[in-house]
């Protein structure tokens, strides 16, 4: 009698099937690749696991080269990205997530120190692309378009490149020398940046410059307002304008006590900036509780350590010369509800940090470009507007508004623009299945908490705009890289090679992994059990003959 097994099924639990011995093998191992959760979570599409692998070997230039294939600004992102990769890191279920952003910053800073450059690509396509806006999305698009062989020019309305990275993120979080260095590296590739030029007619600009396509990434630079009764309207500022004026050296006179109205990250930045400008007291007024606050926890924690006061469940009703009236709120079903209870707080001025809008009116005369209710531009899956050849991304399209999301938009737009210019449709390669912590065999790993970056003491931090977070030294950055589990992908640990009782594993040399000798393999599954990162699966034999 014989039994034929034709169903080649992915196995993740050896208890689900029988194990063959000797010449009879009911299953066989195969090497597989999965998608690590860090890669999956990165809005810029970085191959995090690959560049961490180079870093843990001390191959820092190779790590930086691999990282910048997807993201040209690692020193910036290592400081300002909110690192969703770490939130998704499987190691967080064991001890603590790998401090990916700290390793990224280390590599970015090393590149700045050593003056590493991108290769200058030949402009071989013969096509010209106009990028409007020199923020993270525009810079990313320009970089990737240049690498694809296109002639790229960026037009920026402001006096310096960087967009909201320059005018919205204070220098204590993002030093300007780092910003200039990473932008300068993109310029050295041949990307031209024209400053102090506000585009008001896209089609005329496109025609005058003989551009074949346009990517618009003007950001969201208009602070939202709300009506607060006040005797002196000059006492009410918006956070976007405030931060911009500070950056340009035109800091307003805020008085001794400043109130910031809002609960997002911009509110935290505005409050901490006011403190650095000499305000004796900076207090944040927010109408919800901390649980419903849009700012990231670490942003609020840092603000509190610097002496910022936060009044939860409050809304401003009116502002007098040196005082303001606030109403207490209650959160019911997740929504703030007025209580009718009022109190008076001292404040000489109020900064509104209620979000930002984008200035898209100049696009409304272009046929087929459509807008969402909030004024953002609607784009398709290619990042293209309704007008052929005009693409848009970053804060001006419906999306989460972060530097890393905008950077990812720029890369995606560049690849779609490249395809559109050649009459193709860009098709992103299908991802491997996502690997979870339950699939890993982490029994052999010792627990080791993440290395923490140092912080300047709060009392010192508030005295100026010098950077407050210190990067990791090389030894600790490399240690962090080595904490990576290499989830779902072989990192040549030799676990399978050493465990196989039949000697059926063949080493192919560093970087080439292994293969199986199925003349020796019995299908016992020991290699599968020993693989720490789930780079081996067991599958049923496609045809097994069992004699009785």
> Which pLDDT value is given to residue 374?
87
CATH 3.50.50.60 fits 223-354, yes or no: yes
Domain boundaries, given as residue ranges, for the chain: 10-33+490-540, 38-221+358-435, 223-354
Distance CA 191, CA 150 (A): 10
Mean pLDDT, all residues of the chain: 90
> Which pLDDT value is given to residue 461?
95
Listed range (8-17, 178-187, 282-291, 503-512) with the worst mean pLDDT: 8-17
Does 1 score more than 70 pLDDT? no
> Which pLDDT value is given to residue 444?
64
* % residues pLDDT > 70 (the chain): 93
pLDDT tens, position by position, 461-504 = 999 999 999 999 999 999 999 999 999 999 999 999 999 999 99
**CB-CB neighbours of 441 under 10 Å:** 16
> Which pLDDT value is given to residue 231?
59
Whether 223-354 and 38-221+358-435 are alike in CATH topology: the answer is yes
CATH 3.50.50.60 fits 38-221+358-435, yes or no: yes
Task: Give the pairing type, strands 257-261 and 281-285.
Answer: parallel
User: What mean pLDDT comes out for the span 305-330?
Assistant: 91
Distance CA 537, CA 184 (A): 46
pLDDT tens, position by position, 412-428 = 999 999 999 999 999 99
Does 20 score more than 80 pLDDT? no
> Which pLDDT value is given to residue 224?
80
Q: Which helix (H) or strand (E) holds 357?
A: strand 356-357
pLDDT tens, position by position, 331-378 = 888 788 999 999 999 999 999 999 888 888 889 889 899 999 888 999
Distance CA 146, CA 163 (A): 20
User: What mean pLDDT comes out for the span 42-59?
Assistant: 97
> Which pLDDT value is given to residue 292?
86
pLDDT tens, position by position, 396-410 = 999 999 999 999 999
Highest mean pLDDT of the ranges 26-30, 58-62, 530-534: 58-62
Radius of gyration (C-alpha) of the chain in whole angstroms: 28
Q: What share of the chain is helix, strand, coil (3-state, %, to 5)?
A: 30, 20, 50
* % residues pLDDT > 90 (the chain): 79
User: What mean pLDDT comes out for the span 500-529?
Assistant: 93
Residue 219, token pair as written in the block:
């950001």
- Band of the pLDDT at 21, cuts 50, 70, 90? very low
Q: What HEC string does 116-166 produce?
A: CCCCCCCCCCCCEEEEECCCHHHHHHHHHHHHCCCEEEEECCCCCCCCHHH
> Which pLDDT value is given to residue 32?
95
Read out DSSP for 194-206? E-S---S-HHHHH
Backbone angles phi, psi at 445, to 5 degrees: -85, 135
Q: Tell me which of 342 and 228 has the higher pLDDT.
A: 342
Q: Do 28 and 523 touch, CB atoms closer than 8 A?
A: yes
User: What mean pLDDT comes out for the span 432-454?
Assistant: 87
> Which pLDDT value is given to residue 445?
65
- Please tell me the class of the 10-33+490-540 domain: alpha beta
- 507 has which bridge partners? 514
Distance CA 47, CA 71 (A): 10
Backbone angles phi, psi at 275, to 5 degrees: -60, -40
Residue of 78, 81, 183 lying closest to 140 (CA atoms):
183
Does 13 score more than 50 pLDDT? no
């Amino acid at each position: 009698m014989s039994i034929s097994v034709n169903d080649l099924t992915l196995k993740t639990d050896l208890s689900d099937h029988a194990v063959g011995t000797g010449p009879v093998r009911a299953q066989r191992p195969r090497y597989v690749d999965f998608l690590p959760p860090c890669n999956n979570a990165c809005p810029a599409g970085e191959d995090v696991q690959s560049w961490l692998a180079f870093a843990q070997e001390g191959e820092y230039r190779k790590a930086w080269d691999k990282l910048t294939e997807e993201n040209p600004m690692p020193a910036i992102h290592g400081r300002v990205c909110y690192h969703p990769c770490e939130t998704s890191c499987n190691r967080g279920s064991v001890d603590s997530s790998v401090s990916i952003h700290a390793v990224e910053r280390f590599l970015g800073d090393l590149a700045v120190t050593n003056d590493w450059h991108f290769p200058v690509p030949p402009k071989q396509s013969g096509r010209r692309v106009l990028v409007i806006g020199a923020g993270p999305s525009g810079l990313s698009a320009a970089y990737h378009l240049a690498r694809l062989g296109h002639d790229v020019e960026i037009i920026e309305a402001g006096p310096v490149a960087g967009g909201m990275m320059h005018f919205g993120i204070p220098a204590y979080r993002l030093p300007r020398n780092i910003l200039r260095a990473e932008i300068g590296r993109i310029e050295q590739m041949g990307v031209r940046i024209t400053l102090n030029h506000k585009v008001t007619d896209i089609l005329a600009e496109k025609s005058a410059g003989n551009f074949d396509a346009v990517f618009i990434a003007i950001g969201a630079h208009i602070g939202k307002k709300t009506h607060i009764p006040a005797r002196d309207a000059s006492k009410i500022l918006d956070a976007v304008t405030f931060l911009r004026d500070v950056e340009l050296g035109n800091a307003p006179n805020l008085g001794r006590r400043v109130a910031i109205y809002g609960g997002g990250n911009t509110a935290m930045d505005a409050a901490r900036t006011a403190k650095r400008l000499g305000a004796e007291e900076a207090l944040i007024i927010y109408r919800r509780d901390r649980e419903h606050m849009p700012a990231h926890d670490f942003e609020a924690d840092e603000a509190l350590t610097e002496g910022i006061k936060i009044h939860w469940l409050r809304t401003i009703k009116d502002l007098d010369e040196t005082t303001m009236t606030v109403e207490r709120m209650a959160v019911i079903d997740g929504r703030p509800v007025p209580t009718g209870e009022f109190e008076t707080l001292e404040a000489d001025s109020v900064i509104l940090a209620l979000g930002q809008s984008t200035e898209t009116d100049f696009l409304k005369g272009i046929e087929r470009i459509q807008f969402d209710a909030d004024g953002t531009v609607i784009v398709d899956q290619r990042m293209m507007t309704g007008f052929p050849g005009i693409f848009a991304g970053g804060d001006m399209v419906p999306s989460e508004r972060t530097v890393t999301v905008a950077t990812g938009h720029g890369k995606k737009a560049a690849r779609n623009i490249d395809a559109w210019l050649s009459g193709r449709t860009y098709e992103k390669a299908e991802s491997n299945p996502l690997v979870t912590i339950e699939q890993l065999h982490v029994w052999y790993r010792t627990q080791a908490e993440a290395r923490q970056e140092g912080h300047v003491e709060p009392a010192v931090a508030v005295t100026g705009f010098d950077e407050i977070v210190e990067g990791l030294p090389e030894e600790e950055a490399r240690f962090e890289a080595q904490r990576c589990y290499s989830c779902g992908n072989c990192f040549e640990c030799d676990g399978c090679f050493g465990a196989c009782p039949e000697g059926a594993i063949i080493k192919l040399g560093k970087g080439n992994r292994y293969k199986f000798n199925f003349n020796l393999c019995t299908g016992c599954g020991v290699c599968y059990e020993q693989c720490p990162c789930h780079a081996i699966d067991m599958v049923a034999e496609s045809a097994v003959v069992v004699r009785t």
